[in-house]
Structure 1
Amino acid sequence: MSLPILNCSTVTKFIEDAEKFEKCINECFVKLDIDGDGLLSRKELRGGFGSLLPVGSVSEPREEIISKLIDTIFERFDEDHNGGLDSKEFKSLSKEMMLAMARGIGSSPVHLALNKDSLLMRAVEHELATM
């Protein structure tokens, strides 16, 4: 776990570097696509998001929250309605999530605890590499 300082421009500049962002998203997609079929199923996505909600962190049961999140994601991002997210749909989801995080962080620098493999940590590493 790292404790970098970042702000919204850290995230948006990473997204704007299309080549680096795409490479990172493709790596994430491959890690999540456990069966290697080129689509992220609800089960595979659940595995990826499941670790984000610690047990006891909210009043609703954890599985119910994750199920609602997955349902919302598939309604919004499964453009071809085939029951799986392809790499293009996953990129769209990831980009929208990252931009939402950037808006939430705002322009003032914040100090966050980040997993070394997280997309936000990749944004920090990108910023450091371009300085």
Structure 2
Amino acid sequence: MSVVVLDGSTVRGFVADEPAFARSVDARFAALDANGDGVLSRAELRRALESFRLLDGAGFGSAEPAPLPADVAALYDAVFEQFDADGSGAVDRAEFRDEMRRIMLAVADGLGSQPIQVAVDDEGGSFLLEAAEHEAAEIAARVEADRSKAEAEAEAEAEAAAAVVADAK
């Protein structure tokens, strides 16, 4: 587990970087596509959702019972139908990417502009972790660019001063 600090702009920036976001979503898609046929079946997406263990009961010591199997199946079917935009019975890479973009932008809206700390899984990939790492890399690149610019300006000033001194002699 890692803890990252992020807000909605962190997530939006990651989604807006189309090549970085596509690489991330495509990697997740490939990991979920167990049989490698290029589409996610209902069973493949369900296995991924089940791995989140969101429906194991209320959790954290709650006395709430786990949901009924029929309710769980209905929920998984509804999620699958949300991803399967064309109703083909399979989720292709473009559908998966479009829905993940929509989900991530909804997360960004929910986060708003107040930074929060989030515990994320280091293993198995986390879009939020990737968003935070993406933002950190952008900040590091800007800092390096600013440093290089400042060094170049200082060098130019030193050369100009040396030229003035040389002309004065």
Do the structures match in fold with TM over 0.5?
Answer: yes
Percent identity between matched residues is 40
- Counterpart-to-counterpart distance in 1, 2:82 and 2:76: 10
User: Are residues 1:56 and 2:62 paired?
Assistant: no
Cα distance, 1:123 vs structure 2: 0.4
- Counterpart-to-counterpart distance in 2, 1:119 and 1:65: 27
Cα distance, 1:57 vs structure 2: 2.4
Cα distance, 1:64 vs structure 2: 4.8
Task: Report the equivalent of 2:41.
Answer: 41
Match of 2:117 among 81, 88, 111: 111
Match of 2:132 among 120, 124, 128: 124
Max Rg structure: 2
Maintained 8 Å contact 1:78/1:85: yes
Higher strand share: 2
- Counterpart-to-counterpart distance in 2, 1:122 and 1:62: 34
Deviates more, 1:82-91 or 1:65-74: 65-74
Higher helix share: 2
Maintained 8 Å contact 1:46/1:66: no
Match of 1:93 among 99, 102, 108: 99
Could you say what secondary structure the match of 1:35 adopts? coil
Could you say what secondary structure the match of 1:83 adopts? coil
Listed as ranges, the gaps of 5+ residues in structure 1 are: none
Listed as ranges, the gaps of 5+ residues in structure 2 are: 140-169
TM-score (norm 2): 0.71
User: Are residues 1:31 and 2:39 paired?
Assistant: no
Change (3 A) 1:56 1:100: same
Cα distance, 1:71 vs structure 2: 2.1
CA distances 1:70-92 after superposition (whole Å, capped 9, x unpaired): 32233333233221100000001
- Counterpart-to-counterpart distance in 1, 2:3 and 2:55: 19
Deviates more, 1:58-67 or 1:82-91: 58-67
Alignment of 1:10-29 (within 5 A): 10-29=10-29
User: How many correspondences in the alignment?
Assistant: 131
Q: Residue 27 of structure 2 aligns to which amino acid in structure 1?
A: E
- Counterpart-to-counterpart distance in 2, 1:54 and 1:70: 10
Maintained 8 Å contact 2:55/2:72: no
